[in-house]
Amino acid sequence: MNTVRQLDRVVIRFAGDSGDGMQLTGDRFTAETAKLGNDLSTLPNYPAEIRAPAGTLPGVSSFQIHFADTDILTPGDQPEVLIAMNPAALKANLRDLKPGGTIVVNTDEFTKRNLTKVGYDANPLEDDTLEDYQVHAVALASLTIEALKDFDVSKKDAERSKNMFALGLVSWMYSRPTEATEEFLRGKFKAKPTIAEANIAALKAGWNYGDTTEAFAVRFEIPPAKLNAGTYRNITGNQALAWGITAAGVASGLPVFLGAYPITPASDILHELSKHKRFGVTTVQAEDEIAAVGAALGASWGGALGVTTSSGPGIALKSETISLAVSLELPLLVVDVQRAGPSTGLPTKTEQADLVMAMFGRHGEAPIAVLAPQSPSDCYDIMLEAARIALHYRTPVMVLSDGYIANGAEPWRLPETAELPDISVEFATEPNGVDKAGEPVFLPYQRDPETLARPWAVPGTPGLQHRIGGIEKADKTGDISYDPENHDFMVRTRAAKIAGVDVPDLELDDPHSGEATTLVLGWGSTWGPIGAAVRGLRDKGVPIARAHLRYLNPMPKNTAEVLARYDRVVVPEMNLGQLTMLLRHNFPGTDVVGYNKVRGLPFTSNELQDALEEVIKNG
Amino acid sequence: MADVKLDAPKLKAKDFKSSQEVRWCPGCGDYAILAAVQSFLPELGLEREKIAFISGIGCSSRFPYYLNTYGLHSIHGRAPAIATGLAVSRPDLSVWVVTGDGDALSIGGNHLIHALRRNVNLKILLFNNRIYGLTKGQYSPTSGPGTLTKSSPMGSVDSPFNPLSLALGSEATFVARTLDSDRAHLQEVLRAAAEHEGSAFVEIYQNCPIFNDGAFEVLKNPETRDESIIRLQDGEPIAFGDKVVVQSGYGLQVKDASEVDEADVVVHKADVDDPAYAFALSRLSGIALDHTPIGVFRNVKRPTYDAGVRTQVDEAATGVDRKEALERLLHSGDTWTVL
């Protein structure tokens, strides 16, 4: 009989060759865990190559999940459990594993040839390499093949089900139900029922292996987390972002038009929105990044909610068109799912180094609003906000997600669709001025005095025919104007419009009643790791205040006042100090301390906690 | 072309003139094209607000400013991309692209070929003057080898595009050529383009009097034009002056009528499905314009991209309560409830 032990949290990493199906295994384990009511956070990590040479270190793909009976903020700094499908997976991930951690290893792949391929002179399962760990050496492949011997599947297909065997085993170890995965497999292999049943048999065989083998003396349970009441689902950032765009179409009553060109890690947004035609969402896979944003802008001119989604290299190509949108003053949503750069950089790894490009990476004075989601589920809300600003102020809005948020997942308490914000717009339908002869005319650049937004008259509106373009426009009439004073006025007016965008105040989290002298200020996906680090410090009795910027341009009006309350502001960023630079410029006199790393990986909460403590200690 | 023709009061050319002062150089071929287009547009039978002109950058791209329709003067080369977004999302509009040889064939080459490949419902008017005019006279992708310009003082070493060959290679369904100076022909071609469902590509030879004056003189001079211009007429044998066009090898060839049996003269048919025929026609004239066909080279039917996209969206969206569908989307798949 196995012992069942209760845990409050655990971090598991599944690692294997990129052909081993580790992302799928991780996704299914996540779904089982979500269903059980644990809070969770995930971190997929995979190579840029679709199929790097089998069994090599560059070919290793992994999926990490952190789940707990309390609310958690990150996918975990260090895994406590490693599932290694081959020597490469073991070698690539071992140094991350917590001392004393558990390793489940597929012994079938530990052949001399495979060991040599990754530089192991001796078999680590046989020497003292793993003596600090609890190792479960399991012949995952041969056990799977044996379990499927009565199925009408080839040996190769049977062997491919070993990831399900592993999932079954780990599901048993952590008391996860597998029924939903069985359903999933039946759906996934609908056309090949034999393969579906073989995978289910492998899953069950893995579970039974844990249950009957004495090698696994202990089984764990992680009770559900005490989350706020509501209905939850698990969601990745890219999915939430696509749903947020869909919701913005519903909330505005406008058709959504997405122009996109495939690029990692943003393509999933195109895939997801392509499935949502029933919402009146049109997706155009354009010939290039420039055409993608061009088509979106053309659709915006025609009265749609124009959207384009990409990553850094693609955004660079769209820059000229975004400037045109600034000049035309039309709504446009631009999503940059940041990845490590420059150039191709590390296309599947995360970074926050496009902030300055988002702010200034255009020709001429071309300010736009810039927003950044702070977690996967926040992508939904941020797109609604981005759409509100774009439509209300007739401006491009850049949203800075990143690879960590895009592919990471977390439970999301579903919002009430009845509470969707009203972001509808009124198109111009009547002349709004008179010409010199006193005749009614349409003035396309006659602004709303409060928002400075210009009227949006879509083609097809009788009597409001007008011409707009990239050439500087005369105030009010929009006619071509080369007048120096007019240009100065228009540049300043466009800047004032963006500076005046209404954004909510910065929320300050400082429970120490004046004790804290240091504020940690982040933006984007560092929200989770910073939050976990701040928790750790407060648990140790170290006072620290925190705030997080979701609105980077314009920044919330109370930002200066919040920063001024503290002796110093620490800004962790996955870049070399871009927000730091903006803060030093915008709020001179503030002591801004950057904490910067560009490893293509999110910060761990431990390193942040140490870094923050160091700053506080040294005052 | 718009789906619905309105019962419009008869508009006149002057109704399509905007209040903006036209600012091309004196003698520019663009004036003639503008006048021809303005007097043609009433024929569409559409209200002015149902027409949208989108241009890129270059002299020709100022065109939309001078028309009393909806107009968008955009970015160098990008007009077909922007127009694709408009045409896909607004089937009720007649969408026209005005572009030039540099705009469409150099910086915007990619967008042009893909708009044609997709067969987006756009009318693309390419004003070809074989020179960069707005930037004051550099050679363009349609300038001949050896062209002397500020950027090619020893003569250009570039090989030019044949715009019609390129369009045909891009799977264009409608391809035509006309001249700025021949208003009747220009309007006839515009009429055919407007009636075509899908991308219509019209090359208009246009004289730049400042930087490339007389580039098309051979087609205009009464002494040379009759032996240089081949006027294509659907269903008619291809003949001009004392010459005719016959098949030769994989292509077509010009021969003296006296040397050819009448039955061997090629009869023009723009709806020939195989683009090789229209391609062979496009190869009759080179940079020297010796035998230059004008008229509609190709006019075939193929489903349009915008209609295809809209059909899918309409099929999926018909009768859907979007708010309710959003509620269902959010709750789809694995969910759990915390009390």
Q: What is the dihedral of CA A498, A504, A505, A506, to 10 degrees?
A: -90
Question: Chain centroid to CA A247: how far?
Answer: 18
Q: Specify if A18 maps to a domain.
A: yes
DSSP at B10: -
**Are the C-beta atoms of A145 and A187 separated by less than 8 Å?**
no
Entry pTM: 0.94
Helix, strand, or coil (residue A492): helix
- Closest CA relative to residue A239, chosen from B187, B329, B60, B108: B329
Instruction: Tell me what the mean pLDDT of segment B37-47 comes to.
Output: 96
pLDDT tens digits for range B180-231: 999 999 999 999 999 999 999 999 999 999 999 999 999 999 999 999 999 9
The predicted pLDDT at position A215 comes to 82
Tell me which amino acid residue A352 is. Q
pLDDT higher than 70, residue B117? yes
Q: Do residues A95 and A201 share a domain?
A: yes
- Closest CA relative to residue A404, chosen from A428, A443, A372: A372
- Burial (CB count within 10 angstroms: exposed 0-12, middle 13-18, buried 19+), residue B9: exposed
Distance from C-alpha of A140 to C-alpha of A136, rounded to nearest angstrom: 11
Quote the number of domains for chain A: 4
Structure tokens of A191?
């056309």
Lowest mean per-residue pLDDT among A19-23, A269-273, A349-353, B277-281: A19-23
**Does A278 contact B52 at a Cβ distance shorter than 8 Å?**
no
The predicted pLDDT at position B7 comes to 53
Tell me which amino acid residue A284 is. V
Q: Do residues A353 and A370 share a domain?
A: yes
Size of chain B in residues = 339
Q: Do residues A44 and A100 share a domain?
A: yes
For B317, the closest of A229, A277, A468 (CB atoms) is A277
Distance from C-alpha of A367 to C-alpha of A359, rounded to nearest angstrom: 7
Structure tokens of A9?
């949290």
Q: Do residues A530 and A460 share a domain?
A: no
Give B2's pLDDT tier (boundaries 50, 70, 90). Answer: very low
Mean of per-residue pLDDT scores for chain B: 95
A63 has a chain B CB within 8 A of its CB? no
Query: Hey, how many other C-beta atoms are within 10 angstroms of the C-beta on A399?
Result: 26
Instruction: Tell me what the mean pLDDT of segment A388-413 comes to.
Output: 96
Q: Specify if A503 maps to a domain.
A: no
**Does A278 contact B84 at a Cβ distance shorter than 8 Å?**
no
Q: Do residues A188 and A334 share a domain?
A: no
CB-CB neighbors (< 8 A) of B19 in chain A: 479
The secondary structure of A33-93, three-state, reads: HHHCCCEEEEEEECCCCCCCCCCCHHHEEEEEEEEECCCCCCCCCCCCEEEECCHHHHHHH
Measuring CA to CA, how many Å separate A170 from each of A29, A30, A336, B322? 9, 12, 36, 40
Instruction: Tell me what the mean pLDDT of segment A99-114 comes to.
Output: 96
The predicted pLDDT at position A100 comes to 94
Q: Specify if A94 maps to a domain.
A: yes
Distance from CA of B295 to the nearest CA of A (A): 30
pLDDT higher than 60, residue B60? yes
A227 has a chain B CB within 8 A of its CB? yes
Q: Do residues A103 and A55 share a domain?
A: yes
**Does A462 contact B49 at a Cβ distance shorter than 8 Å?**
yes
CB-CB neighbors (< 8 A) of A259 in chain B: 85
For B338, the closest of A180, A232, A300 (CB atoms) is A232
Distance from C-alpha of A447 to C-alpha of A487, rounded to nearest angstrom: 16
Q: Specify if A411 maps to a domain.
A: yes
DSSP at B104: I
Q: Do residues A42 and A158 share a domain?
A: yes
Q: Do residues A544 and A589 share a domain?
A: yes
Q: Between helices A193-212 and A179-188, what is the axis angle to 10°?
A: 160
Q: Do residues A214 and A237 share a domain?
A: no
Distance from C-alpha of A278 to C-alpha of B320, rounded to nearest angstrom: 7
Q: What is the dihedral of CA A465, A467, A473, A476, to 10 degrees?
A: 0
- Closest-CA residue of B relative to A463 is B49
Distance from CA of A254 to the nearest CA of B (A): 11
- The DSSP element (H or E) to which A568 belongs, if any, is strand A568-573
DSSP at A188: H
For A465, the closest of B49, B54, B327 (CB atoms) is B49
Tell me which amino acid residue B237 is. P
The predicted pLDDT at position A198 comes to 96
**Are the C-beta atoms of A306 and A331 separated by less than 8 Å?**
yes
- Closest-CA residue of B relative to A283 is B309
Q: Do residues A401 and A446 share a domain?
A: no
Site from A35, A277, A465, A468 to mutate, B interface, most B CB atoms within 10 angstroms: A465
The predicted pLDDT at position A48 comes to 79
**Does B85 contact A284 at a Cβ distance shorter than 8 Å?**
yes
Structure tokens of A518?
């240091």
Helix, strand, or coil (residue B36): helix
Half-sphere exposure of A129 toward its Cβ, with a 13 Å CA cutoff? 15
Give B5's pLDDT tier (boundaries 50, 70, 90). Answer: low
Q: Specify if A501 maps to a domain.
A: no
**Are the C-beta atoms of B300 and B167 separated by less than 8 Å?**
no
- DSSP structure string for B230-286: EE--TTSB-EETTEEEEEETTEEEEEEGGGS-GGGBPBP-TT-S-HHHHHHHHTS--
**CATH number of the domain enclosing A196:** 3.40.920.10
Domain boundary among A190, A221, A252: A221
Domain boundary among A221, A241, A269: A221
Mean of per-residue pLDDT scores for chain A: 95
Share of chain B above pLDDT 90, in %: 94
Distance from C-alpha of B317 to C-alpha of B313, rounded to nearest angstrom: 6
Share of chain A above pLDDT 90, in %: 93
The predicted pLDDT at position B96 comes to 98
Distance from C-alpha of A105 to C-alpha of B25, rounded to nearest angstrom: 78
pLDDT tens digits for range A573-583: 999 999 999 99
- DSSP structure string for A211-275: HH-TT--EEEE-PPP-PPSEEEEEEEHHHHHHHHHHHHHHHHTPPEEEEE---TTTHHHHHHHHT
- DSSP structure string for A408-450: -EEEEEPPPGGG----------S--EE-TTS-EE--TB---TT
Q: Do residues A189 and A87 share a domain?
A: yes
**CATH number of the domain enclosing A258:** 3.40.50.970
The predicted pLDDT at position A160 comes to 95
Sheet holding A409-413, edge to edge: A409-413, A230-236, B335-338
Distance from CA of B121 to the nearest CA of A (A): 14
pLDDT higher than 70, residue B272? yes
Looking at the DSSP bridge assignments, the partners of residue A440 are A434
Measuring CA to CA, how many Å separate A380 from each of A236, A245, A376, A384? 10, 7, 8, 7
**Are the C-beta atoms of A256 and B293 separated by less than 8 Å?**
no
The predicted pLDDT at position A35 comes to 85
For A417, the closest of B20, B327, B335 (CB atoms) is B327
**CATH number of the domain enclosing A577:** 3.40.50.920
Half-sphere exposure of A269 toward its Cβ, with a 13 Å CA cutoff? 37
Domain boundary among A191, A221, A251: A221
Detail the DSSP E strand segments found in chain B: 51-55, 70-73, 94-100, 123-128, 174-179, 200-205, 229-231, 239-240, 243-248, 251-256, 292-299, 335-338
Give B1's pLDDT tier (boundaries 50, 70, 90). Answer: very low
DSSP at B212: B
**Does B48 contact A287 at a Cβ distance shorter than 8 Å?**
no
**Are the C-beta atoms of B229 and B219 separated by less than 8 Å?**
yes
Q: Specify if A35 maps to a domain.
A: yes
Give A311's pLDDT tier (boundaries 50, 70, 90). Answer: very high
- Closest CA relative to residue A453, chosen from A369, A373, A384: A369
CB-CB neighbors (< 8 A) of A294 in chain B: 74-75, 78, 81-82, 84-85, 111
A301 has a chain B CB within 8 A of its CB? yes
Give A2's pLDDT tier (boundaries 50, 70, 90). Answer: low
pLDDT tens digits for range A526-559: 999 999 999 999 999 999 999 999 999 999 999 9
Question: Between A18 and A66, where is the model more confident?
Answer: A66
Q: Specify if A498 maps to a domain.
A: no
Q: Which domains does chain B have, with CATH numbers?
A: 13-234+290-316 (3.40.50.970)
pLDDT tens digits for range B290-326: 999 999 999 999 999 999 999 999 999 999 999 999 9
Instruction: Tell me what the mean pLDDT of segment A469-477 comes to.
Output: 97
Q: Is the dihedral of CA B250, B253, B259, B263 positive or negative?
A: positive
Distance from CA of B52 to the nearest CA of A (A): 7
Domain assignment of residue A260, given as a range: 233-419
Q: Specify if A491 maps to a domain.
A: no
Q: Is B253 left (phi over 0), alpha (psi -120 to 50) or beta?
A: beta
**Does A302 contact B90 at a Cβ distance shorter than 8 Å?**
yes
Contacts of residue A242, Cβ cutoff 8 Å, sequence gap at least 6: A268, A269, A272, A273, A276
Q: Do residues A86 and A151 share a domain?
A: yes
**Are the C-beta atoms of B201 and B126 separated by less than 8 Å?**
yes
Instruction: Tell me what the mean pLDDT of segment B258-274 comes to.
Output: 97
- The DSSP element (H or E) to which B9 belongs, if any, is none
- DSSP structure string for B108-122: THHHHHHHHHHT-S-
**Are the C-beta atoms of A399 and A383 separated by less than 8 Å?**
yes
pLDDT tens digits for range A440-472: 999 999 999 999 999 999 999 999 999 999 999
Give A52's pLDDT tier (boundaries 50, 70, 90). Answer: confident
Please report the ipTM that was assigned to this predicted complex. Answer: 0.96
Size of chain A in residues = 619
A321 has a chain B CB within 8 A of its CB? yes
Site from A467, A468, A472, A479 to mutate, B interface, most B CB atoms within 10 angstroms: A467
Contacts of residue A548, Cβ cutoff 8 Å, sequence gap at least 6: A374, A507, A521, A522, A523, A527, A530
